[in-house]
Amino acid sequence: MRSHPSLGALGSLLCRRLPDLLASEYNNTVHASILVVEDEEKLAQAIALYLRNAGFSVEIALDGQAALEAFARHQPDLIVLDLMLPKIDGWTVCHKIRQSSDVPIIMLTARVGEPARVQGLELGADDYLEKPFSLRELVARIHAVLRRAGKKHQPVIHAGDLRIDLEQHEVFVREKKVELTASEFALLAFMAQHPNRVFTRIQLLDAIRGSTCETSERVIDSHIKNLRKKIERNPQEPEYIQTVYGIGYRFRDAKL
């Protein structure tokens, strides 16, 4: 088990402040199940209690092995996953889960900086929070990720003036049909099904491999440039496909 006094102190503080934190802003209707994977037990219990008050059903796992067992047993709707875990680390847990499931994963990390974020995203995490974090922000992130996950199953995606028909492979901007190449449509459709989620170029290249024979991740930059010319009002100030410097790109949906 790692030694991290500040996180232990955070857990104790959260437990003492739970009466104040458990505000009436959330109802008590259970609408999704969450698996919380965190080896600091006080912090895990504080997170779980807050999430239950927000209307979620919650299970806790205190190490990586227990996390994999709990995932197989409960099949949660979303996982809150700490990275620094005993027995099996969070990166390995995420990788193993991604081999069989696209369940949304929010990673918790005490590591500050771009490399940890990029590694988590490349392994398939949907979002991440750096410790220490606000429980209110965690709940907001969970709601946003679950909304994005539900959006993936819609046959037609609407975002601002943009309409993407996933079944007919057609794209309309302000009701005018836009002609896209197979690779451009695959890239836009993939990103639009995961709105506001940041993807690296490697992830995007992997997502469209069935539509292109390109192997260089820089081909993504070319596709993004062409897409912006076709769907954005001002390609220099994109509304939909935004650059996240140092990481990659995201499809912005202002409604989420």
Q: In this predicted model, what pLDDT tens digit does every residue of 157-195 receive, in sequence order? A: 889 999 999 888 899 999 999 999 988 998 999 899 888
Note whether 70 and 146 are same-domain residues: yes
Per-residue CA distances from 30 to 20, 55, 82 (Å):
21, 4, 23
Q: Tell which of 151, 171, 194 closes a domain.
A: 151
Note whether 27 and 88 are same-domain residues: yes
Q: Tell which of 151, 179, 204 closes a domain.
A: 151
Radius of gyration of the chain (CA): 20
How confident is the model at residue 164, as a pLDDT? 93
How confident is the model at residue 44, as a pLDDT? 95
Note whether 145 and 162 are same-domain residues: no
222: domain CATH number is 1.10.10.10
**Cβ-Cβ contacts under 8 Å for 250 (sequence gap 6 or more):** 191, 195, 196, 197, 198, 199, 241, 242, 244
**Which residue segment(s) compose the domain that 14 sits in?**
5-151
Note whether 141 and 180 are same-domain residues: no
Q: Which amino acid is at 185?
A: F
Q: Tell which of 129, 151, 173 closes a domain.
A: 151
Is it the case that residue 221 has pLDDT exceeding 90? yes
DSSP line for the chain:
----HHHHHHHHHHHHHHHHHS-TTS------EEEEE-S-HHHHHHHHHHHHHTT-EEEEESSHHHHHHHHHHH--SEEEEESS-SSS-HHHHHHHHHTT----EEEEES--SHHHHHHHHHTT-SEEEESS--HHHHHHHHHHHHHHHHHTT-SEEEETTEEEETTTTEEEETTEEE---HHHHHHHHHHHTSTT--EEHHHHHHHTGGG-----TTHHHHHHHHHHHHH-S-TTS-SSEEEETTTEEEE--TT-
C-beta of residue 143 within 8 angstroms of C-beta of residue 164: no
How confident is the model at residue 5, as a pLDDT? 41
Is it the case that residue 22 has pLDDT exceeding 80? no
- Among the listed residues 40, 43, 38, the one whose alpha carbon sits nearest the alpha carbon of residue 11: 43
Q: Is residue 256 part of a domain?
A: no
Percent of the chain with pLDDT over 90: 44
Is it the case that residue 25 has pLDDT exceeding 50? no
Q: Which of 78-92, 202-216, 222-236 has the lowest mean pLDDT?
A: 202-216
Q: Do the bridges between strand 241-244 and strand 199-200 make them parallel or antiparallel, or are there none, so unpaired?
A: unpaired
Question: Number of folded domains in the chain?
Answer: 2
Note whether 135 and 12 are same-domain residues: yes
